[in-house]
Structure 1
Amino acid sequence: MREIFHRLKKNNLMSLSILLLLLLLLSVGVNIRFLYSSKAAEPSKIQLVSSTNSYMFLSPVTAQANDTERIRVSVFVLNERGIGVANQEVTLKHMPEVKTEAIQSVSDNYGRAIFDIYTQTPGNYSIEALVNNQTIGEAVSAVFK
Structure 2
Amino acid sequence: MSALRDANIAIGEAFYRALEVGDFAALAELHSDDVVFNLVGSTPVSGRWEGKDVCFGPVVADGVIGKLQPETIQFSREWRIMCADDNRVVGLMKGGGIGTNGHEYAQTYCQIMTIRGGKISELHEFFDTALVELVLNDNPTANGPSEVAKPFVF
Q: TM-score w.r.t. structure 2 length?
A: 0.26
Larger Rg: 1
Structure number with the higher helix fraction is 2
